[in-house]
């Protein structure tokens, strides 16, 4: 089965069961300071999981683009990916466990024709706070699974949330595919990492709210949030050994073979896989309408890292020219019909890749000079310290294999144990940071952040009034202290312009204007003058938030009910974000 066929089958299956399809949201979360990228289908739906009414109703289905960077150094094996697509279906206070489990079972066994005996599921075993999820286990058996195919695990395996210290949470049931291997021991089960079981779907049942005192109360709106990785399920149903055998990767791998005049072999498969994964991710990040560019911070840093890692590995294949654009064109061609923004932004994608290639070529030369400086102080048989080897990796992007090769040419060793210790510390730090980021999504939906969200609408309108309609929102980030707003503009704003923008926003606040919300078709909204936060696939019906006389935007919310609730508005800083993009940080009273 091909990817397009599976996407279509999945969406149509749930549409026939009352779900409305919603488009994939941007890879860059709107107004969410807790994550760098959209890491799961739940992130764009945060307000609706918390009770806000979705314009498409209570049953939704989507295919969401996702980026996860916590295990970026593991990419190259059979399973880890930076970019992936998540198939998801949602119940926002509608059906619950019985319908969710039954639909999952039917789709897997009747539509994907997975033999029942190859399935295994896990459910929450319960603890002193929340009871064992016998209901989920009984539902699986009622559908056709045997008792021995059901495994009970604790919170580390079968509990989701809360995202912060308090908030929605609940048990989940994870669905696994049995690869047919022998069990590694008596305790072997889906939680085992031996490779016998591969997780293919996860159904989260948000039924509790964790309170500040640590107790749990039942949610008024119980939700179902499911996620199934497209690449992984494609691998399973086609009996492939890894995701790189699917039609999502084969065109990329074939292109790399053609333009490098090398072959994908057991010896170089890791290089091929990393190049394929990283260029797919980089192309999608650059193709996003929020137009993130390579930089030294946040999303731009991740983008720069994966592009530069690709360039290094291309050189390792013996190619000393820019071929990353050639690979990106294959990604655009392969995905463009599904994600039209790649076609629309193709010129921008290729332009940024070319710029980064030229820039990194200079950095690479600088790194070689620094390495030569380190080696010149050592004699044959000496060792390059782990600290210096790691500095070449961290500062100049030199993989340890490259450093070892350079050292061996000079008959110098590298202190590998010391390097590996530094690298391990680096990984742990990165994973902890990623874990903290991934906790988010529902972490901060406080009254203050809601008001700051409304302030971004007023700020956007004021900027367009002062600087012109060419101003376009390129991203925003909100925490409880301030808002951060990125917008297209090619120069530093003057003091007078900043004062004028601030005055317009405060004027709207002082007037105490009611914030109105209507539901319209996208066409109606745009004909009425509404602007989108970013161009993407909207559903048939969208929410339009209007502050009469000032702002009209397509947006998911939530917002303050009246501008007076913001009290006052103050710009803290205006600075460059990246080429052609400015950034304002501001706060409210």
Q: Quick count: other Cβ atoms within 10 Å of Cβ 502?
A: 19
Cα separation, 354 vs 531, in Å, equals 32
Residue 559, annotated as binding a ligand: yes
98 torsion bin: left (phi>0), alpha (psi -120 to 50), beta (else)? alpha
Q: What is the DSSP string of 257-268?
A: HHHHT----TTT
Residue in 101, 230, 109 with CA at minimum distance from that of residue 173: 101
Cα separation, 398 vs 188, in Å, equals 39
- Per the CB < 8 A criterion, the answer to whether 374 and 343 are in contact is no
Residue 457, annotated as binding a ligand: yes
385-391 contacts at long range (C-beta below 8 A, 24 or more positions apart): 385/415, 385/418, 386/414, 386/415, 386/416, 386/417, 386/418, 386/419, 386/420, 386/421, 386/422, 387/418, 387/422, 389/414, 389/415, 389/418, 389/419, 389/422, 390/419, 390/422, 390/423, 390/426
Beta bridge partners of 21: 61
Maximum Cα–Cα distance for the chain, whole Å? Answer: 77
DSSP, res 489: -
Structure tokens at 269: 């498969």
475 torsion bin: left (phi>0), alpha (psi -120 to 50), beta (else)? left
Structure tokens at 506: 């405060």
Residue in 158, 171, 121 with CA at minimum distance from that of residue 143: 121
The CA-CA-CA angle for residues 334, 25, 28, to 5°, reads 95
| Residues in the annotated binding site for Zn(2+) | 453, 457, 555, 559
Annotation: binding site = 453, 457, 555, 559
């Amino acid at each position: 089965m091909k990817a397009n066929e599976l996407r279509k089958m999945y969406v149509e299956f749930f549409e026939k069961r009352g779900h409305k399809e919603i488009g994939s949201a941007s890879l860059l979360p709107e107004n969410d300071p807790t994550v760098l990228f959209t890491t799961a289908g739940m992130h764009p739906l945060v307000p609706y999981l918390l009770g806000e009414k979705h314009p498409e109703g209570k049953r939704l289905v989507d295919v969401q683009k996702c980026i996860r960077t916590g295990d970026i150094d593991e990419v190259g094996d059979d399973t880890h990916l930076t970019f992936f697509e998540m198939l998801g279906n949602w119940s926002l206070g509608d059906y619950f466990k019985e319908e969710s489990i039954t639909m999952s079972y039917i789709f897997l066994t009747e539509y994907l024709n997975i033999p029942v005996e190859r399935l295994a599921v896990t459910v929450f075993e319960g603890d002193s706070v929340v009871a064992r999820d016998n209901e989920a286990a009984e539902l699986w058996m009622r559908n056709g699974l045997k008792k021995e195919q059901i495994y009970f695990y604790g919170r580390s395996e079968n509990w989701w949330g809360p995202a912060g210290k308090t908030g929605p949470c609940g048990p989940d049931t994870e669905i696994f595919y049995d690869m047919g291997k022998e069990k590694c021991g008596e305790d072997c089960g889906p939680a085992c990492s031996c490779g016998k079981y591969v997780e293919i779907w996860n159904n989260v049942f948000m039924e509790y709210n964790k309170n500040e005192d640590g107790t749990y109360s039942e949610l008024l709106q119980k939700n179902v949030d499911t996620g199934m990785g497209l690449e992984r399920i494609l691998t399973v149903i086609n009996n492939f050994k890894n995701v790189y055998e699917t039609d999502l990767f084969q065109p990329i791998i074939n292109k790399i073979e053609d333009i490098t005049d090398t072959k994908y072999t057991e010896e170089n498969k890791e290089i091929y896989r990393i190049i394929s994964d990283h260029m797919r991710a980089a192309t999608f990040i650059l193709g996003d309408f929020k137009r993130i560019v390579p930089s030294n911070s946040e999303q731009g840093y991740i983008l720069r890292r994966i592009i530069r890692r690709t360039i290094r590995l291309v050189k390792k294949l013996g190619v000393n020219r820019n071929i990353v654009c050639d690979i990106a064109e294959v990604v655009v061609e392969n995905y463009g019909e599904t994600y039209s923004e790649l076609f629309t932004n193709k010129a921008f994608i290729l332009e940024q890749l070319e710029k980064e290639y030229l820039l990194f070529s200079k950095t690479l030369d600088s790194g070689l000079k620094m390495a030569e400086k380190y080696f010149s102080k050592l004699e044959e048989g000496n060792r390059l310290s782990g600290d210096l080897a790691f500095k070449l990796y961290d500062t100049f992007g030199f993989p340890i294999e490259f450093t070892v090769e350079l050292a061996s040419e000079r008959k110098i060793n590298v202190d590998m144990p010391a390097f590996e210790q530094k690298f391990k510390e680096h990984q742990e730090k990165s994973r902890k940071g990623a874990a903290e980021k991934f906790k988010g999504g529902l972490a901060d939906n406080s009254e203050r952040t809601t008001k700051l969200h409304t302030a971004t609408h007023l700020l956007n309108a004021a900027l367009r009034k002062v600087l012109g309609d060419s101003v376009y929102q390129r991203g925003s980030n909100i925490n409880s202290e301030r808002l951060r707003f990125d917008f297209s503009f090619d120069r530093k704003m003057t003091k007078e312009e900043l004062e004028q923008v601030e005055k317009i926003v405060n004027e709207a606040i002082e007037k105490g204007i009611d914030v109105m919300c209507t539901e319209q078709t996208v066409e109606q909204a745009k004909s009425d003058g509404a602007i989108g936060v970013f161009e993407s696939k909207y559903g048939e019906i969208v929410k339009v938030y209007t502050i009469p006389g000032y702002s009209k935007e397509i947006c998911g919310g939530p917002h303050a009910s009246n501008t007076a609730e913001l009290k006052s508005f103050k710009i803290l800083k205006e600075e460059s974000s990246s080429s052609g993009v400015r950034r304002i940080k501001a706060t409210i009273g």
